[in-house]
Amino acid sequence: MKLQTWKPKGLMSKPWRRSWACVELIKASEGYRERAFPDYHGRYQCGWGHTNGVEPDTTCDLTKAELWLSTDLDKCDAALNAKVTVKLTQGMVDALDDWIYNLGVGEFASAPGLALLNKGDYQAAWRHFYSYIYAGGHKSPGLMHRREEERQLFFSAV
């Protein structure tokens, strides 16, 4: 007996762009900080996890944080559109954009999950992306929760 492969409904062609669900997940996961703080890698973040050009004395208000978030997410959308060759649902776009925002464009471009996704094996791809739950060498409850939120988006109905 042949196993049935899960086939998502509501697949969309490019170009893809994140929805409000992605933005809300990022804001909830990252939390807003008006003053720079170091993450577990020692990189400074400000706003909702923005890192580019952030120094220890960087500050931001909500307007600047929103601009940074939008600019950073445009880069995530661009990476998704450049690297993914299969159709995606909006939930997949949102989940993957959140993952890219959290781990970076470079990590996404070299992730084995991307190759699985481009073969159309959505389930195996997500199992790989879901495995990124470690911070500083330890399982992170925050990352475990974030991956679960992404998983729910990824496999959500349209």
pTM: 0.91
pLDDT at residue 1 above 70? Answer: no
Among 94, 95, 130, 97, residue whose Cα is nearest residue 112: 130
What are the pLDDT digits (tens) for 102-152?
999 999 999 999 999 999 999 999 999 999 999 888 899 999 999 999 999
Fold of 20-154: Lysozyme (1.10.530)
Cis peptide before 15 (omega within 30 of 0): yes
The DSSP symbol for 71 reads: H
| Cα angle for residues 60, 61, 62 (degrees, 5° grid) | 125
What residue spans define the domains of the chain? 20-154
5-19, 30-44, 84-98, 118-132: which range is least confident on average?
Answer: 5-19
Mean pLDDT across the stretch 1-27? 84
Among 73, 58, 41, residue whose Cα is nearest residue 137: 41
Look up tokens 């781990």; give the residue: 103
